[in-house]
Amino acid sequence: MRAYVAELVGTALLVLLGDGGVAGVLLSKSKAQNSGWIVITTGWALAVAIPVYAVGRISGAHINPAITLALAVVGKFPWTLVPGYIAAQMLGAFIGAGLVWLAYLAHWPATQDASLKLMTFSTVPAIRRLPLNLLTEMIGTFVLVFGVMALGSYQPANTSGLTPLLVGFLVWAIGLSLGGPTGYAINPARDLAPRIAHSLLPIAGKGGSDWGYAWVPVVGPLVGGVAGALAYIALFGK
């Protein structure tokens, strides 16, 4: 149970800091409004590193169903814990999204563009071509999981030094290099749970939650993450 709580808290922190950075850039009358992609990618990099430092020694700080599934597939994580980890990650991401909504409560009615409100919670592709969007998410998550395994950050013992910061740098690099087409969800919980929050919360003028796209940032990361783990094991062994 302690590990599940750690995953919940870690994923809540991830989404609070990550989506909070997006909200600051996109929502009207925010002091960070229009500060750009560098701010968003930096915010997400730190949003990953801090939870890994915070809860890595307890749960390994997967904070991402794609990592949990990938590690289970290659025998680095018990299958019996997978459902509980993913449930905790989803709930944590939902809570994090709710906290972002509260933190920016005055800015939702001030923002006229409904798409900006959705992008604060979940990803929206720059060019909507679902097969290509899916491929982008697969590639980004392949790099994430391959890199995480290379850094060994799934081992709690490694979370006391520079490894969590290096994982943050990895996410930063993915955002800068591969994030442009889709907004780089690379994490099903990070996208799906906040999208559910967007659909449920009383946000003025929010528009739809784009459920026709919602499967892409779920399937893409899961497939890409497993591929990344299998590639790492094939190349370097266990």
Q: What tens-digit pLDDT sequence spans the chain (238 residues)?
A: 899 999 999 999 999 999 999 999 999 999 999 999 999 999 999 999 999 999 998 999 999 999 999 999 999 999 999 999 999 999 999 999 999 999 999 999 999 999 999 999 999 999 999 999 999 999 999 999 999 999 886 665 555 578 899 999 999 999 999 999 999 999 999 999 999 999 999 998 999 999 999 999 999 999 999 999 999 999 998 7
Q: Give this prediction's pTM.
A: 0.95
Fold of 2-236: Glycerol uptake facilitator protein (1.20.1080)
According to the model, what pLDDT value does residue 155 have? 60
92/47 Cα distance (integer angstroms)? 14
CA distance 85 to 96: 16
* Domain range annotation of the chain: 2-236
Give pLDDT, residue 162.
85
